[in-house]
Structure 1
Amino acid sequence: MVCFQTDYLQVEHHSKNKVLVTQWYGGCSSLQYRQALIQIMRIARDLQVHYIILDRRLLQPVTTEDLTWTCTIYAKAYTKLPLRKVAVLQAFNIITQQQQQQLYERLSDHIPVAAFEDLTSAYAWITE
C-alpha cells in the first residue's frame, strides 16, 4: 500500500512482513527533504514497522545543514523506532552516497544496516 507519494519520494507499506520501502526519485528543496524524512518517521512509528528499505539511488546531494540535521536529530529519532533491520540501496551519485554513509554509520550502532544494489536482494535480506 502506498502511504505517501510526491514527485520526489514514494513510501510503501508491506503489511504482511511489516516492511516500509522508501524510494527517492530525485532532488527536492531543503524543506521538502526534512518534511519527507519526518513523514517517513511518522509512518514507520504509526504502522510499527520492523524493517525499512531505504532506496536512495536517485536521491541528490543535500546541503551541509540538511546533512547535519539528518545525522543528528533525524538519526536519533530513527533509533527510537522498533526496527530490527535497515536495508539501503546506495545512491548513484557519489556525493550523495558519501553523505548518506554518515547516516548509515550512526544507525548501525543501534540497528543492523546492510547495503544492496537492488531491491530484490534488499527485500530478501530484510525478510529472511
Structure 2
Amino acid sequence: MNRSSRQGPVVAMLLATTLSSHAASPVGDPAAGAAAFRMCASCHQVGPSAHSVFGPQLNGVIGRRAGTLADYAYSPAMRKSGIVWNEQTLARFLRDPGDTVPGTKMRLWGIGDERKIANLLAYLRQYPPVK
C-alpha cells in the first residue's frame, strides 16, 4: 500500500467531519444571546414595548418576510429582497449584511463568530410577534 492510498480514507474522514460541522449550526444560548444583543440594541428593540427606531424592531423576526413592518422605512433593496427570515437567512445576513442584501441600510460589518450568531438567534426566538 503506497502513501497516497493510505491517506485517502484519512482525507475522506477529515472532509466528512468538516462538512458535517459546517452543516450543523450551533444551538445557541439565549442568555449569552442577550449579552450579544447589546451591540444590536442601539438600533433594534425586542420585547412587549418594542418599536422600530433606527432599525426595525425584531419581535417575531424569524418567519417574517424581510422589509414588511409598517413602522419602519426599509431600503428598497430590503423590500425587494424576497427573503423570509429563518435561522439560515438570518445567520447569513448577520455574517455579511451587504453581501446578503446589497444596498441594505444595516450598518454592521458582520459577525464572524458562529457561536455568537447562534446565541443571538436563540435570544431572538424568545420574542414572538407582539399582538
State the TM-score, normalized to the length of structure 2.
0.24
Q: Which of structures 1 and 2 has the larger relative contact order (alpha carbons within 8 angstroms, sep 6+)?
A: 2
Structure 1 or 2, whichever has the larger Rg, is 2
Give TM-score, length-normalised by structure 1. Answer: 0.25
- Give the number of the structure whose residues are more often strand, by fraction: 1
